[in-house]
């Protein structure tokens, strides 16, 4: 990675490894007795897989991701903890890596079990997560397909099996009781290890923690709940998207701002132009009124987000001129703006904002 000083445009994304560690420790505190996978899929929710792994290398009980090649890369980089393939293997060709690199793999369909049977030998240990479909209705065995899975598992006597499921509405009013009931019916008299809990279950449903939990979004400092902030949960933001004001305009009442003229100035407005746009990963659909902070003061966007710029209201921040620091989300020199507030204003979720930050935005490690 090039040093940020070599980039002339002021936008930066700051990644704080210390915040990732603090959030992982909170997951450990909230799940006493359980072991904790650090979920680093999707490039660690946009924070950088290797940055997250390095932050947690000495702390995580295990790492969970999607791609077999990324799991192999972790092993070859001397990551010794268990590594979980959250969607399992995608072809028979992956079996050799699962065996050689001691990977734990989810199995959610009979085809995966058949590949493992054909590609492994009884003397080669296997660690499997048998996924049960209890209502998410994406992956996993149902009451109809589970008997076939259990029949195939008998042909893998060397396998150590953990039962898992994934909750669809742990962050909402419906909760998890209905899925737990289905899980127990499918599991029957199972007495082996369980993995049930994502971030929402970790934080709100302690009865369903099981033996291994799988925190994702909470590791990166965002809340899984629409009605509870990350700060209230004790989470620290691990990403700050920051930039600077590059121009100021004095706009008269009645004038329109930006492409399509979607915002009409209600009164004389001091308008700031910020070096950040949808080509940087900021949501184009974020409407006027989306929060940001400039020079330590909260304000809002105005007009349509363009490719490389967006505009904001500086009428009540007279000291902010060209060069003033801006926090688009996170905690930075410009001020503090929770990513969940930005996401809510834009009609999306923090997960999408994190993952959408563009490769052209320089990364700086450490607190912003």
User: What is the pairing mode between strands 239-251 and 325-332?
Assistant: antiparallel
β-sheet bridge partners, residue 272? 248, 312
Nearest 5°: the CA angle 45, 47, 53 is 95
Alpha carbon of 251 to those of 260, 299, 313: distances in Å? Answer: 17, 17, 10
Give the Cα-Cα-Cα angle 108, 351, 17 (nearest 5 degrees): 100
Look up residue 288 and give its two tokens. 């006027």
* Backbone φ, ψ for residue 197 (5° rounding): -100, 125
For the CA atoms of 360, 365, 366, 368, what is the dihedral angle to 10 degrees?
-20
Residues designated catalytic: 41, 259
Sign of the dihedral through C-alpha 19, 21, 24, 26: negative
Quote the tokens at residue 198: 């994502």
Sheet holding 159-164, edge to edge: 194-195, 159-164, 126-131, 104-107, 83-85, 62-65, 35-39, 212-213
**Under a CB-based contact definition with an 8 Å cutoff, are residues 68 and 103 in contact?**
yes
DSSP string, 22-91: HHHHHHHHHSTT-EEEEE-HHHHHTT-HHHHHHHHTTT-SEEEES-HHHHHHHHHTT--S-EEETT--SS
Which H or E run contains 310? strand 310-313
CA distance 82 to 119: 21
């Amino acid at each position: 990675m090039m040093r940020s000083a070599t980039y002339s445009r002021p936008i930066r994304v700051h990644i704080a490894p210390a915040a990732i560690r603090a959030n992982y420790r909170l997951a450990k505190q909230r799940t006493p007795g359980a072991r904790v996978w650090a979920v680093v899929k999707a490039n660690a929710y946009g924070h950088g897989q290797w940055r997250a792994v390095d932050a947690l290398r000495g702390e995580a009980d295990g790492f969970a991701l999607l791609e077999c090649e990324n799991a192999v890369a972790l092993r070859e980089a001397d990551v010794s903890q268990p590594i979980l393939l959250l969607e399992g293997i995608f072809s028979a060709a992956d079996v050799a890596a699962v065996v050689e690199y001691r990977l734990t793999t989810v199995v959610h369909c009979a085809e995966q079990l058949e590949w493992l049977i054909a590609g492994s030998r009884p003397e080669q240990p296997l660690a499997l997560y048998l996924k049960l479909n209890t209502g998410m209705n994406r992956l996993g065995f149902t009451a109809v397909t589970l008997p076939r899975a259990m029949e195939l598992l008998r042909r893998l006597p060397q396998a150590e099996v953990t039962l898992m499921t994934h909750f669809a509405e742990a962050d909402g009013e419906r909760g998890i009781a209905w899925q737990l009931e289905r899980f127990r019916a499918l599991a029957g008299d199972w007495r082996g290890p369980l993995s049930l809990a994502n971030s929402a279950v970790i934080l709100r449903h302690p009865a369903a923690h099981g033996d291994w939990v799988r925190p994702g979004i909470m590791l990166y400092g965002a809340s899984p709940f629409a009605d509870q902030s990350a700060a209230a949960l004790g989470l620290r933001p691990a990403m700050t998207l920051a930039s600077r004001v590059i121009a100021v305009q004095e706009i008269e009442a009645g004038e329109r701002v930006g492409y399509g003229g979607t915002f009409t100035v209600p009164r004389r407005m001091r308008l700031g132009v910020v070096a950040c746009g949808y080509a940087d990963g900021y949501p184009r659909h974020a409407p006027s009124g989306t929060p940001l902070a400039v020079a330590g003061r909260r304000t809002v966007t105005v007009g349509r987000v363009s490719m490389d710029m967006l505009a904001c209201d500086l009428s009540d921040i007279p000291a902010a001129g060209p060069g003033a620091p801006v926090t688009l989300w996170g905690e930075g020199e410009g001020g503090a703006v929770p990513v969940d507030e930005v996401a809510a204003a834009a009609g999306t979720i923090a997960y999408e904002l994190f993952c959408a930050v563009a490769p052209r935005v320089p990364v700086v490690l450490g607190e912003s």
